[in-house]
């Protein structure tokens, strides 16, 4: 038992830190530090910088560009990236479709897609949810009918994040309407330029364009874009869900928000002193820091225990990571809201994206705080809502 | 002891609620938001016809002599519809300040024009550095040839962009945070030296930053005796807190109803999601929050006329804390229980959440009021 990183791990952390310091373009760092949203270009630029260094997909197998790092190293890498603060590599690519292709794709699919996925030459979006199939994903109805060497896809997806940026979608479709819900689903890769595919934007409550509806009207998908076996798509989707574990708590991102809140609170005059000096503010922040520290140690336990577990077996402690992690991300955005106070209330989209040409209303950093708070409410909804997380823990872990 | 509305109050409630339910569905609201001032001029005229714009003023000023309860009734209905009109800015705060501190001449010239819908007011008080300290006023008023000269910066001026006249707080003497030395001045919003920058707020309302550079006003533009306005400002903040508290309660009730309806209709796993106990309990917790807030809103309303300023302000702070906490819980949970739909601008529930959020920083955030109450020894 030893809480400290080994000298090698510390050396690794310094190396990662130095690289992020030198390689992250100043304009992107500036946006990220202000809490502004990185543009599509920023995300692509950064992922390509990482890829050039060989660090875009370190958790993949070495033959596909991975780094064979230990779980601790992967953890340090993600943590440092969030603290930098740098944009996250596109999760749909590096944590979702990539690992599924590696596990279940054909050799040809891997050779074609994986390098482009890693380099973000292909931007993938996730076509799972439908109007009638959210938490109950297995009830999805978008259909794919085999016709010669094509699938003909009809139906609708919803809440598809960044579909408007995407070149490709990994999509769950029903290929066997007669089978039990989970058994008739297949996993298809669909070119977003396909005729018959249309996208309608849905504005999110922060006033921005993040997700979309995607409609399929007789969209022809080459059968070679089926991943794995027909009607086994559910298994691959589940594999995905089990795949993304470390980093899911986003401890680094919460830390970064809290550090920022403390720094900014020192600039807000309250009475004779500053907000940062008021007892109530300090105690509130301290209370979050305590929970964040506990979560960080829990996460490190999971990371450290990973070497003792067979591949694919999930540490029971890991199930609390998403639950607590999202609660703390939300708590951190609330603290920033309190710091900004009324300054957060001007709606100024350009100052959220860093594209404004006019002076901000109030301090520049305050323009991003409310959108961040609003949008972060989604973290307990997507990726398996917190209610569903609790159901799963109760059932699988507690046997209830 | 009696929490019942009078016959007249019930009639008022029915007519405002009917107007809101007929004219303020979600689609209407979107079109009102796009109109030039950010709200519906047509509805504003209708409020005038119904007597809502003169509700709290005495009959001799074109009003109907209503009290805090009448304002609460209107604000609750507006909360339900997420109304965009500048009722708080013009009637509750603007008209309230004139009624509280204005001269007879000011009342006679201004209040009837508010009541008829011809005049919009805004209260230009908050300043960027002031945080939530009501007496933190850096804006200055100097004696000029035949009146006053105003200089300074005002922030978060609710509906300040569409107002015809502004009520500006400015310091004629004393330290920046001193309660002594503050005056209130009625200023034509188009006067020379006024720079206004209007903007939309996160909840779809309008606000403005206002810069005053050597703005000249007559001596008779002062509301009351310049230098002694701190008490008036405190009073009007209390009125605004009670009114937004009622608005919040109306919004909470609507958000809760929408959510319960959704639980009864949305199906997943072959059943309505309202059959899941986890969600049932959440909906009940939301109801508990709503009822606690409703009680505190009533308390705040009834305490507005309490003569003891300490009791009054303690109670208003206590009510504000409860209402804000309830609004936050109900807003967040309403979004959560709606899933993806809760996160879109295309559905009403997220707009309630945003409105609760915006209210949280008006005239002091939750912690500010909690600290004020605790400093004053609590309620018991
Ligand atoms: C910002 C955002 C981005 C998204 N991006 C994507 C994307 O890129 N691709 C994609 O496919 N999907 C995406 N989603 C969709 C997301 O995965 C779904 O919203 C989520 O699965 C919930 O489904 P739903 O919205 O249909 O809500 P519902 O499943 O209808 O849930 C409504 C409420 O009921 C609760 N509930 C449901 N079942 C139970 C139960 N058994 N017990 C207790 N409570 C229950 C839920 O927790 C929730 O509170 C995104 C969603 C959001 C908000």
Distances (CA, A) of A379 to A209, A328, A365, B203: 17, 10, 22, 21
B308 assigned to some structural domain:
yes
Residues B359 and B246 in one domain: yes
Look up the CATH number of the domain holding residue A357.
Answer: 1.20.140.10
pTM above 0.90, yes or no: yes
- Residue A161 domain boundaries: 124-232
Is there a single domain that holds both residue A305 and residue A375?
A: yes
In a domain, B1, yes or no: no
Residue nearest to atom 38 of ligand 1 (CA): A135
For residue B99, the domain's CATH number is: 1.10.540.10
- pLDDT value, residue A241: 65
Cβ atoms of residues B184 and B122 within 8 Å: no
| Same structural domain, A130 and A162 | yes
Identify whether A107 is part of a domain: no
Q: Domain ends where: A202, A232, A262?
A: A232
What residues of chain B lie within 8 A of the CB of A373, using their CB?
Answer: 357
Same domain, A70 and A132: no
The residues lining ligand 1, judged by C-beta closer than 6 Å to any ligand atom, are A 125-129, 134-135, 159-161, 210-211, 378, 381-382, 385, 387-388, 391; B 266, 268-269, 273, 276, 278-279, 336-337, 339-340, 343
Per-residue pLDDT tens listing for chain B (380 residues): 889 999 999 999 999 999 999 999 999 999 999 999 999 999 999 999 999 999 999 999 999 999 999 999 999 999 999 999 999 999 999 999 999 999 999 999 999 999 999 999 999 999 999 999 999 999 999 999 889 999 999 999 999 999 999 999 999 999 999 999 999 999 999 999 999 999 999 999 999 999 999 999 999 999 999 999 999 999 999 999 999 999 999 999 999 999 999 999 999 999 999 999 999 999 999 999 999 999 999 999 999 999 999 999 999 999 999 999 999 999 999 999 999 999 999 999 999 999 999 999 999 999 999 999 999 999 99
**φ, ψ for residue A212 (rounded to 5)?**
-150, 165
Q: CA–CA separation, A284 vs A337, rounded Å?
A: 13
Among candidate residues B205, B227, B249, the one where a domain is terminated: B227
Percent of chain A past pLDDT 70, that is, above it, reads: 98
Give me the domain span that covers residue B141: 122-227
A244 is catalytic: yes
| Surface-to-core class of residue A363, CB atoms within 10 Å of its CB (0-12 exposed, 13-18 middle, 19+ buried) | middle
State phi, psi for B216 to the nearest 5 degrees: -95, 130
Are residues A262 and A333 located together in one domain of the fold?
A: yes
Are residues A202 and B279, on separate chains, in Cβ contact within 8 Å? no
Domain boundary (B175, B207, B227) is at: B227
Residue A65 domain-assigned?
A: yes
Residues of B in contact with A278 (CB under 8 A): 371
Chain B residues 221-280 with CB within 8 Å of chain A: 267-270, 276, 278-279
Claim to verify: residue B158 and residue B186 sit in the same structural domain: yes
Per-residue CA distances from A9 to A85, A125, B179 (Å): 20, 34, 58
Q: Does A254 lie in the same domain as A391?
A: yes
Do residues B245 and B364 lie in contact, with contact meaning Cβ atoms separated by under 8 Å?
A: no
In a domain, A119, yes or no: no
Residues B236 and B340 in one domain: yes
Ligand 1 atom closest to Cα of residue B338: 32
Residues 6 or more apart whose CB falls under 8 angstroms from that of B33 comprise: B39, B84, B204
Each residue's pLDDT tens digit, A299-314: 888 888 877 877 667 7
Instruction: Name the minimum distance, in Å, from the CA of A16 to any CA of chain B.
Output: 36
The minimum CA-CA distance between A162 and chain B, rounded to whole Å, is 14
Give the residue among A358, A82, A367, A334 at the shortest CA–CA distance from A208.
A367
Say yes or no: A71 and A166 in one domain: no
**Which H, E and C letters describe A150-207, residue by residue?**
EEEEEEEEECCCCHHHCCEEEEEEECCCCCCHHHHEEEEEEECCCCCEEEEEEEECCC
Ligand 1 centroid to residue B180 C-alpha, Å: 55
**Interface membership of B138 toward A (CB under 8 Å):** no
Q: How many domains does chain B have?
A: 3
Residue B93: CB atoms within 10 A of its CB come to 25
Among residues A198, A232, A266, which one ends one of the domains? A232
Inter-chain touch A202–B344, beta carbons under 8 Å: yes
b/e sequence B235-265, b meaning 16+ C-beta within 10 Å: bbbbbbbbbbbbbbbbbbbbbbebbbebbee
Same-domain pairing of A142 and A212 = yes
CATH number, position B368: 1.20.140.10
Domain assignment of residue A251, yes or no: yes
Give the nearest partner residue to A204 out of B209, B344, B353, using CB atoms.
B344
Asked if B155 lies within 8 A of A342 by C-beta distance, the reply is yes
Bigger pLDDT: A238 vs A309 = A238
Atom of ligand 1 nearest to the CA of A133: 26
> pLDDT tens digit string along A50-87?
999 999 999 999 999 999 998 889 989 998 999 999 99
In a domain, B380, yes or no: no
ipTM of the complex: 0.97
Backbone angles phi, psi at B173, to 5 degrees: 180, 170
- Closest Cβ opposite residue A362 in set B128, B353, B362: B128
Nearest-CB residue to B371 (from A207, A280, A391) = A280
pLDDT band at A247 (very low <50, low <70, confident <90, very high): low
Out of B88, B119, B150, pick the residue that ends a domain: B119
CATH of the domain at A223: 2.40.110.10
CA distance B151 to B172: 11
pLDDT of residue B308: 97
Atom of ligand 1 nearest to the CA of B266: 30
Asked if the Cβ–Cβ distance from B268 to A135 is below 8 Å, we say yes
Report DSSP state, residue A159.
S
Domain identity same for A249 and A387: yes
Same domain? B244 vs B369? yes
Is residue B2 a part of any domain in this protein?
no
CB-based contact, B333 to chain A, within 8 Å: no
The helix/strand/coil state of B57 is coil
Question: Please, where are the H alpha helices in A24-149?
Answer: 26-34, 40-53, 71-83, 91, 98-104, 107-118
- Closest chain B C-alpha to A205 CA, distance in angstroms: 5
The atom of ligand 1 lying closest to the CA of A162 is 8
Asked if the structure places residue B104 within a domain, the reply is yes
CA B127/CA B134 separation, integer angstroms: 10
Chain A interface disruption, residue of B340, B361, B370, B375, most A CBs within 10 A: B340
Do residues B74 and B23 make contact, with C-beta atoms less than 8 angstroms apart? no
SS3 assignment, position A68: coil
Regarding whether B213 and B336 lie in a shared domain, the answer is: no
Q: How many domains does chain A have?
A: 3
pLDDT higher than threshold 70 for residue A242:
no
User: Is residue A164 domain-resident?
Assistant: yes
A212 and A274, same domain (yes or no) = no
Task: Let me know whether A223 and A252 are in one domain.
Answer: no
CA B280 to chain centre: 32
């Amino acid at each position: 038992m030893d809480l400290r990183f080994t000298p090698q791990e510390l050396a690794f952390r310094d190396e990662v830190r130095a690289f992020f310091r030198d390689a992250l373009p100043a304009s992107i760092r500036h946006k990220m530090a202000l809490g502004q949203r990185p543009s599509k270009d920023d995300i692509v630029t950064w992922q390509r910088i990482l890829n050039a260094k060989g660090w875009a997909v370190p958790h993949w197998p070495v033959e596909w560009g991975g780094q064979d790092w230990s779980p601790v190293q992967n953890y340090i890498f993600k943590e440092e990236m969030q603290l930098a603060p740098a944009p996250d590599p596109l999760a749909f690519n590096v944590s979702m479709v990539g690992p599924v292709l590696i596990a279940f794709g054909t050799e040809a699919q891997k050779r074609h897609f994986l390098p482009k996925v890693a380099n973000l030459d292909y931007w993938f979006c996730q076509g799972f949810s439908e109007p009638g199939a959210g938490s109950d994903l297995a009830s999805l109805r978008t259909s794919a009918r085999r016709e010669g060497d094509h699938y003909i896809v009809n139906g609708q997806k919803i809440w598809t994040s960044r579909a408007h940026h995407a070149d490709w979608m990994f999509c769950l479709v029903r290929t066997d309407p007669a089978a039990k819900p989970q058994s008739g689903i297949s996993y298809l890769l669909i070119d977003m330029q396909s005729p018959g595919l249309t996208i309608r934007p849905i504005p999110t409550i922060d006033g921005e364009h993040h997700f979309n509806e995607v409609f399929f009207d007789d969209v022809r998908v080459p059968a070679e874009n089926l991943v794995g076996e027909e009607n086994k798509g559910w298994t691959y989707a589940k594999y995905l869900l089990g795949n993304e574990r470390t980093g899911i708590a986003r401890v680094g991102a919460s830390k970064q928000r809290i550090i920022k809140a403390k720094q900014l609170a020192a600039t807000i005059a309250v009475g004779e002193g500053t907000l940062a000096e008021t007892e109530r503010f300090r105690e509130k922040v301290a209370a979050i820091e305590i929970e964040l520290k506990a979560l960080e140690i829990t996460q490190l336990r999971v990371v450290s225990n990973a070497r003792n577990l067979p591949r694919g077996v999930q540490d029971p402690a890991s199930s609390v990571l998403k639950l607590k992690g999202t609660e703390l991300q939300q708590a951190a955005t609330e603290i920033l809201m309190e710091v900004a106070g009324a300054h957060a209330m001007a709606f100024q989209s350009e100052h959220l994206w860093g594209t404004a040409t006019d002076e901000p209303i109030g301090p520049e950093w305050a323009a991003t705080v409310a959108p961040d708070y609003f949008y972060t409410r989604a973290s307990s909804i997507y990726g398996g809502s917190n209610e569903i997380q609790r159901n799963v823990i109760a059932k699988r872990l507690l046997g209830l | 002891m009696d929490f019942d509305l009078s016959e007249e109050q019930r009639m008022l409630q029915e007519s405002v609620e009917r107007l809101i339910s007929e004219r303020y569905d979600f689609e209407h609201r979107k079109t009102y938001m796009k109109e030039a001032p950010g709200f519906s001029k047509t509805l504003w005229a209708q409020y005038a016809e119904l007597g809502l714009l003169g509700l709290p003023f005495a009959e001799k000023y074109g009003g109907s002599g209503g009290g805090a309860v009448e304002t609460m009734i209107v604000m609750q209905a507006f909360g339900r519809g997420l109304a965009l009109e500048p009722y708080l800015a013009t009637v509750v705060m603007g008209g309230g300040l004139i009624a509280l501190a204005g001269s007879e001449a000011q009342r006679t010239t201004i209040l009837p024009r508010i009541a008829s819908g011809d005049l919009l007011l805004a209260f230009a008080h908050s300043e960027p550095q002031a945080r939530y300290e009501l007496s933190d006023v850096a804006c200055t008023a100097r004696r000029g040839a035949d009146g006053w000269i105003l200089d300074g910066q005002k922030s978060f001026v609710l509906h300040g962009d569409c107002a015809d006249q502004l009520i500006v707080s400015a310091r004629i003497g004393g330290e920046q945070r001193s309660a002594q030395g503050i005056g209130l001045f009625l200023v034509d919003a188009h006067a020379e030296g006024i720079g206004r920058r209007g903007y939309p707020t996160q909840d779809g309302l309008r606000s403005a930053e206002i810069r005053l550079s050597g703005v000249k006003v007559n001596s008779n533009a002062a509301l009351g005796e310049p230098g002694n306005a701190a008490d008036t400002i405190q009073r009007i903040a209390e009125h605004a807190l009670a009114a937004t508290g009622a608005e919040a309660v109306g919004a909470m009730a609507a958000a809760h109803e929408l959510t319960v309806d959704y639980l009864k209709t949305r199906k997943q796993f072959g059943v309505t999601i309202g059959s899941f106990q986890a969600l049932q309990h959440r909906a009940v917790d939301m109801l508990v929050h709503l009822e606690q807030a409703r009680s505190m809103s009533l308390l705040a309303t009834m305490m507005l006329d309490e003569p003891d300023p300490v009791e009054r302000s303690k109670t208003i702070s206590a009510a504000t804390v409860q209402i804000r906490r309830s609004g936050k819980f109900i807003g967040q949970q309403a979004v959560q229980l709606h899933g993806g739909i809760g996160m879109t601008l295309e559905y009403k529930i997220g707009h309630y959440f945003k409105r609760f959020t915006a209210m949280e920083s008006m005239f002091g955030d939750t912690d500010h009021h909690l600290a004020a109450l605790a400093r004053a020894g609590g309620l018991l």
